[in-house]
Amino acid sequence: MEDRQSLRSNIRKRRAQQEPAWCETNSRLISQHLAASHVYQRAQRIAFYLAQGNEADLGLLLQNAWAAHKEVYLPILGLRYSGQLWFVPCAEDTPLYKNRFGIDEPVHAPHTRRTKLRNLDLILMPLVAFDQRGNRLGMGGGFYDKTLASLQTTSHHWSRPKRIGIAYAFQGVEALQGQTWDVPLDAIVTEQGLHWFTRGTE
Ligand SMILES: Nc1ncnc2c1ncn2[C@@H]1O[C@H](COP(=O)(O)OP(=O)(O)O)[C@@H](O)[C@H]1O
Ligand SMILES: [Mg+2]
């Protein structure tokens, strides 16, 4: 099995090579699959992300969510060195600023950082690779793992929030070596559609 680091860099390289028009077409398909899904339609509080580089871009779905009066949240960096994310509300007209990694974050009131994960219905997360069992490989910072770790210890069923990975189909691999701290996905959406992972009792 390819090690995590070279797999990360190979898939990131391949993604970086895609033409903007290809990314746009497939990102649109991904947004359409989600928009048509029961899980999205039922969700009222949804954590999105803003695509970096050639990551699958949920911009269209974001517009749809605001139009449908859903509550949109975006991740911001938590306390320095915590490696955690906080999800803060973001309206269509909320101004953005750049965090220390140059990634846009919504301007927000400090008390809104206390949004409880359990109150979110759906977390849509970017990734570098996913496998057939729902293991997720991120950029290497473990941000989503650290952020969602508390859910893992407090619930067996994880009914909420649903964790859905967003990627192009070529980011799928046969099997990833899941680490003990890796928080798996409930489902993946690619340009080919939405797929739920089935897992045994956890
Ligand atoms: N819940 C956690 N608590 C503390 N450290 C964590 C936790 N989850 C992940 N990490 C650390 O984050 C680092 C990156 O995790 P990794 O899963 O490799 O990255 P990614 O999920 O971004 O691909 C690892 O060194 C791991 O030890
Ligand atoms: Mg991980």
Which domains does the chain carry?
4-186 (3.40.50.10420)
Rounded to the nearest whole angstrom, what is the distance from the C-alpha of residue 36 to the centroid of ligand 2?
Answer: 29
DSSP for 95-137 reads -EEE-TTS-EEE---GGGGG--GGG-SEEEEE-SEEETT--EE
Query: Residue range 46-62: average pLDDT?
Result: 98
Question: Token pair for residue 129?
Answer: 């690779």
How many CB atoms are located within 10 Å of the residue 67 CB?
9
- What's the pTM value of the predicted model, to 2 decimals? 0.94
Query: Atom 5 (ligand 1): residue with closest C-alpha?
Result: 146
| 51 vs 67: CA distance, rounded Å | 20
Q: Ligand 1, closest atom to CA 181?
A: 8
| 97 vs 62: CA distance, rounded Å | 18
pLDDT at 160 over 90: no
% of the chain beyond a pLDDT of 90: 88
pLDDT at 153 over 70: no
| 116 vs 154: CA distance, rounded Å | 13
pLDDT at 102 over 90: yes
| 152 vs 91: CA distance, rounded Å | 29
Query: Atom 3 (ligand 1): residue with closest C-alpha?
Result: 146
The pLDDT assigned to 114 comes to 84
Query: Residue range 134-157: average pLDDT?
Result: 84
161 with 47: CB under 8 angstroms?
A: yes
CA-to-CA dists, residue 53 to 12, 13, 19, 87, angstroms: 10, 11, 11, 21
Query: Residue range 151-162: average pLDDT?
Result: 68
The pLDDT assigned to 156 comes to 52
